[in-house]
Every structure is written in structure tokens, then in C-alpha cells.
Chain A
């Protein structure tokens, strides 16, 4: 249970008795706040004196249950390096007839998008939120229709209504230009709209509008069997296939009360590191593209291709889909594949060293990367930024250590060297990324040495227990992803929510871009290397 000082402080702000229980996991705590008005004070206790960070916000429609309400869970986690693996949930009940909650955004910046999302998808209004604009549903979505309410039939298209143009937040003044970019971009990349306000080349403000790839996947998974929904979770994002598949599986296994066998856990972690590796190596090449260093671009692309070809040999799919499955893994790593893997990793390590050597020895490239797109440490903390972007700004957090998963949850896990930087610029992110890629290669070797013969999978017998919650946090290539899942009475998926690392990091890109010039935006953007698809879902 939580420390007594935290409980006392919370008891004080709810004015007396505290309705607390252990859960969803034995190390977690859920506090039910009887009055929604107490939410800001309780949240302030968690993020203030107890230095926790907002991990995710999950709204649910429980109007069909005896309680007949909507609920919102604000999930917090410790923000300190090496803190215990714990989530603290503040749970509030919202009257479905008057769905209003006090907004946390002005005090906790990381709550911004979460609150706008629940306003769009559930009709829960965060009172006092500074931004009245829609986030997930775009122009022409009918008023008063909330797709994640249970009464809404998500299987049909909804007519597009006439709508005024989206009000972008733009700077005004003499000599200020607005530059609209996207949603369809010039390169082969995902869609998003960026509205720059600039004076000359200097960016004054960047208003990013995302959720173009919102596919309604969370709604799509509702009512499906846990296995059917797995194939969707694995495909929310192409380049996070292992991470999201694994996060979903760990949540399911928690609910089922089963433990994946140790050989399966090791293979899962090998896959997770392989995913990080091809992402990081590919991104080092893409950053070179942003800095017009074409040798680096081609080298990064070649190294990434080699890794993806190896993925196909291991998993039958170049994005490692089809390896992880609820209960364990579908495919083994036999000796001959381990040999192929070792050879490819050796070449990759030499390739990374060579590429980084060429980048660092090239003053015209270094000049583009140094001091470009700075994310200050405090901003990274306030926005609960995660992954490479956070670590390059001096935030020492890594979900492999803070929320052990895969092989890190086995007894006596290998040591993890978390790479951090302090400058918070593109160069710092490049360096942290290169160190992490090398660390992934080392870890894969470590996991392979620990492989011992054993079962690959445990059966999830019968339907899952009903009305249970599973929560997991996975360190993907982009940072910590938080999965929250609850089963219905029949053991099917009642609600699934993914807070991807990119979801917390996108607002940081806009901030960092404001320290750069317009032509450097691709470079800044690439150095964060965020996903649209797992943000938008």
C-alpha cells in the first residue's frame, strides 16, 4: 500500500474518509473520490509533493451498470528514476445527464489532450479547459454524438455536416506569415496538419492538428474476444507492432492470472529490442535526410533494411507481427536463427558506429543538429514527455526499469543502462538514440544467453474473468506506452485504451519547433520520431 504521508495528504484534501482500494495490480492503488470537485486538489497532491506524473486518463461509459454513470480514471505513476512499479488511480463518477468534470489542464499540462479527447468521444466536458476546440473528431462531426458512448453504434459511417473552417491558433502582427503544411505531406509520411506562424524563417508558433488517422480502433475492439482484439492491438501501429501487441498481451495475462513462460518472455524482449533497433537505426538515417546528408540517409536505410529482412526470417513478417500472442509467443528462436541474428547484429553495430562517426566528424551536419529544436527539461517534465525525447532532456525514466515487462519481469533481470542527455536538442536526441541502439544489441545478446529450453505459451483457459482491469506499461521505441483494458461480464473486451508515447510527446514537438527555423522543422520532427497512427488510433 502507498506510503502513509501520501494517504494523509489525500485524506486531507477530500475532507475526511478516503475510499481507497488496492488495484488494478497488487502494487497499485485506486482512490474513489466521492466529490468530483476534489479532483484538482487530489491530483495536485500526487504531482506536487509526491512528484508523480500523469500516465493516462481513461473514460468509460457505465450507464448500463447499476451505477448508471460515466467514469473517469486519472492514472498517475511515480516520476523518479527507479521508483517502485506502481500506478495510482483517481476515480471519479460523472453524472451522465450533466457530464462535467473540473479540468486539470491549467495545473497539469499533460492532461490537455486527454481532456479534449474525452470531450470529443464521451461528451464529458472538462470545465475550465483553456482550449475549446475539438481534437479527435474533425470538421463536420455532428454535435452531441459521442462515439465511445455505449449507446452509439460504431459500425456505421456518420454523415459529414457543413462546418466552418477549423480555427487554428495563429500569431498576428506585421510581417507574420502563416504557413499551412499537410495533412498530405510531400514525402512518404503519415498525415498531420502543421500551421506555422513565422517571421522570416523564425517560427513564432506551431499549431499541430493530428488525429487524421483516427480509425476508431478502441471502439472496434469493444465486444470482441480477447484473441480477436489482439490482432487489432498488434496493428494499431506498424512500427510499434511488438510493443503494442505485448502491452495488450500483458494486460490480458494479468486479467487471466497467467504468467508467460520464461522462454517466451525472453523471446518477447528480444523482439521488443529488435523493434527498437530497426526504428532507431532507421531514424538515424532519416535525421541525416533532414540535414541533407545523403550518405547517412542511404546508410541508415540500408542498415534498417537488413534488420527488417531479419525480422521476416524470425517472425515471417518484416514488422515482427505474428511473434507475440496472448499467453506467450507463436514461434521459437531455434539455434540456426540465433546464428543469423548474431551476424546481423554484429554488422549493425559496426554500421551504427561507422554512421555516428561520419555524422560527428562532419561539421556541416553537426552544425544543423546542435542547439536545434530544444526541449527544456522542465517542459519535458510538465508535459510528461517520454522515451528518447525525455531522456535527451535529462528525464531519467525507462519503462523497462520502472514497470518491468517481458524478460525484465523475470527474477534477476539483466541490468539496463538508461542513456540520458541534458541539452534537449536534436544532437542530444541523436546521441541518446545511438546509445540506445547499441544497448539494445547488448541486451539481445544477454537475453539469448539466458534462453533455456521450455514452453513457449500457456493456455488462457476458457473465457477471461469478467469486469477485471489490466494495466501495463511498455517501453516502445518511442517511449512508454500505457495499456488499460477491462473485460465485460462475458470476458470480452469492454473497454481498451492505449496511451501511446507519441500522445504525450507531440505537444513537445510543437514547443521544440518554436526554437528552430521553418526549414529545420523536418529535422526537429524526425529527431522526435513520433507516430501519428498510435496517437490517433
Chain B
């Protein structure tokens, strides 16, 4: 017992300062891809999950990236497109609306800069009802709807001594009946669809549904198929989408705060 206490004291406090202090991911971290306007951007076929799309408008080629589908593999930023796309380090990507995760670039016109739909402030702010009821303390249920387990491990990491989300009033509970909301991972497999619906229905209103990771947000690498619905919003209404494959723990914390509308102070200027 004494040794345990000594070890604990020697280890000291390991908890991160995030979100009060910013988190800087390491140099090699692959966050949101950055598209350069007027460069020669790759064709949609390059992306293994179909996150890149193109359309032609008034003779110009518009290329769009869907961050919800992106698995941050970095293939589109490899040669020969390394000059047109770089993997940025932005990881605070969660949004309330799926459309806010679209980045659009005009491929052949450098004068038009990349656009990401400015977050709709009205939508960005959580409904006053949710903020009133859940804003200070949030108890979540985890729902694995067919994930590869990576997102699940990152949710578990939120409870480790480093992220310790309980300090933010966030905790994970065993029963949906004790929960204010649910964090869903995975694309909603056929074999889990009924269980997923029932779990969410067991949560009292008002409730939050947070889609964690590319599979939950869009179907990701799985997509729609005989065994997969292709994303949580095909089955249930989603309040917040958190991109990533998987999102790093800070990205999930950010997403949960977006869901609660507790970021107003931090996001005085729209990103």
C-alpha cells in the first residue's frame, strides 16, 4: 500500500490542460487536408473512401472534400499531388451540420480561396433546452454500432489519467436510462441496427446523439452495404459529427463541447 502511494506521488499529475490550453499535435499528425486553390488537385478516384468529389461549374473545376468521409490516410497529399494538398494539423473538426464538414476549392482558379461553410452560429449554439438541462454536466452512454474498436479505445482514453474528462463534468454511464446522450461509433451494422435504436430510445429527452469517427459520421471505409447502414444518420438523427479515423481524444472532447454549446468563449472568431 505504502509503495502504491509513493509510486503515485512520484508519478505526479499527468492530466492535460486541454481544452483550457490548446493541444498541439506532433509534426507527423495527419489532420484536415489543406487544398490549394488553382493547383492541380487529384481526381476523386484517388480517395479510398470517396471523400473527394468534383463538379464542373461555368467551365471551372470545383473539388470538394468531405471531412466526415476522410480517413486521414494522406494518400491525396502524396506525390504527385503533394504540392496541391498537404495534411494539416487541424483536428478540432466537429460540426453540428454534415454540410459544415465540406471544404470546396476551385481547382483551376487560384483567386478563389478554399471555403468551408462558416459554421451557422444559430445551429452551432446548442438548443437552449439542451444547454439549460445538460450544459454543466453530461453523462454519456457509449454505443458501438460496428466500429473497428479504434474509436472505442479513444473513448476509453477519455477516462484515463491524462484526459480525465470527469474534470469537465463529462462521464460515461452503464445504462442508457442514466444517460443524457450517446456517443456512437461504427457505421451501424445490420446486426446492431435494432439494438442501436433501442439504446437511443431508452435515453430520456432531451438527448444528444454524437457520431464519433468516420464510420459513424459517414460510413467511412465501410460505406453502405448488405451489412452496413453507412453512417449513424441513416438510422438516427445526429446532433454532432466528429471526423477522424479515429479522432484523437482531444478531438472527441472538442466534439462533445460542440454538442453542449460550451465553446462560445473559445470560438469568438469563426474558423
Contact = CB atoms under 8 A, between A and B. Distances in A.
A227 B226 CA distance: 23
Interface string A298-330: 110110110010001111111101100000001
Secondary structure class of chain B's binding surface, majority of residues: loop
Contacts of A97: none
B25 A354 contact: no
Interface in A200-222: 211-217, 219-220
Contacts of B172: 188
Given A158-B190, A231-B71, A312-B29, A219 B144 contact: no
B199 A184 contact: yes
B2 to A, nearest CB: 11
Contacts of B220: 235
A155 B223 CA distance: 8
A20 B116 CA distance: 61
A158 B195 CA distance: 17
B130 to A, nearest CB: 23
B143 interface: yes
Interface stretch (B61-69, B99-107, B147-155): B147-155
Interface in A462-485: none
Contact of B29 (A220, A316, A354): A316
Contacts of B112: none
A352 interface: no
A219 B226 contact: yes
B74 interface: yes
B195 A157 contact: no
B49 A238 contact: no
B227 A216 contact: yes
B37 interface: no
A532 interface: yes
A531 interface: yes
B229 interface: yes
A241 B246 CA distance: 12
B229 to A, nearest CB: 7
A183 B26 contact: no
Contact of A235 (B142, B174, B224, B245): B245
B148 A154 contact: no
A245 B30 CA distance: 18
Interface in B12-64: 14, 25-30, 48-49
Given A213-B186, A235-B245, A237-B148, A301 B161 contact: yes
A151 interface: no
Given A184-B195, A232-B48, A219 B225 contact: yes
Given A318-B154, A321-B245, A231 B49 contact: yes
Contact of B160 (A138, A184, A305): A305
Q: How many of chain B's residues touch chain A, expressed as a range?
A: 35 or more
Most buried by B among A187, A237, A238, A531: A238
B30 A154 contact: no
A308 B248 CA distance: 10
A241 B224 contact: no
B160 A298 contact: yes
A213 to B, nearest CB: 4
Nearest to A537: B227
A393 to B, nearest CB: 25
A235 B228 CA distance: 15
B28 A314 contact: yes
A441 interface: no
B243 interface: no
B90 to A, nearest CB: 13
B246 to A, nearest CB: 7
Contacts of B25: 312
Interface string A451-465: 000000000000000
A113 to B, nearest CB: 16
A428 to B, nearest CB: 24
Contacts of A313: 26-28
A331 interface: yes
B192 interface: yes
Given A313-B28, A322-B74, A191 B195 contact: yes
Nearest to B193: A160
A239 interface: yes
Given A183-B195, A212-B191, A213-B147, A152 B28 contact: no
B231 interface: no
Contacts of B151: 238
A319 B246 contact: yes
Contacts of A214: 146, 189-191, 227
A349 to B, nearest CB: 15
B223 A191 contact: no
Given A302-B11, A318-B154, A321-B245, A220 B195 contact: no
A12 interface: no
Nearest to A361: B3
A338 B99 CA distance: 41
B63 to A, nearest CB: 19
B144 A322 contact: no
Contact of B4 (A211, A318, A358): A358
Most buried by B among A141, A239, A305: A305
A282 B156 CA distance: 11
B228 A316 contact: no
Contacts of A304: 160
Interface string A77-90: 00000000000000
Interface string B172-186: 101100000000001
A184 B161 contact: no
Interface in B61-120: 71-75, 78, 87
B224 A160 contact: no
Interface string A350-392: 0000100010010000000000000000000000000000000
A302 B161 contact: yes
A156 interface: yes
B7 to A, nearest CB: 6
B222 interface: yes
Interface of B: 3-4, 7-8, 11, 14, 25-30, 48-49, 71-75, 78, 87, 142-144, 146-157, 159-162, 172, 174-175, 186-187, 189-193, 195, 199, 220-229, 245-246, 248
Question: Top 7 closest A-B pairs, CB basis?
Answer: A238-B150, A186-B174, A216-B227, A301-B160, A316-B28, A231-B48, A238-B149
Interface of A: 137-138, 141, 147, 152, 154-158, 160, 183-184, 186-191, 211-217, 219-220, 227-228, 231-232, 235-239, 241, 282, 295, 298-299, 301-302, 304-305, 308, 312-319, 321-322, 330-331, 354, 358, 361, 531-533
Given A295-B4, A312-B28, A531-B149, 19 more contacts: A154-B225, A157-B190, A157-B224, A184-B143, A184-B199, A187-B174, A191-B192, A212-B189, A213-B146, A215-B187, A216-B222, A235-B150, A235-B221, A238-B246, A239-B149, A298-B161, A312-B248, A321-B245, A330-B74
8 contacts: A158-B190, A212-B146, A228-B48, A235-B150, A239-B149, A299-B7, A305-B160, A305-B162
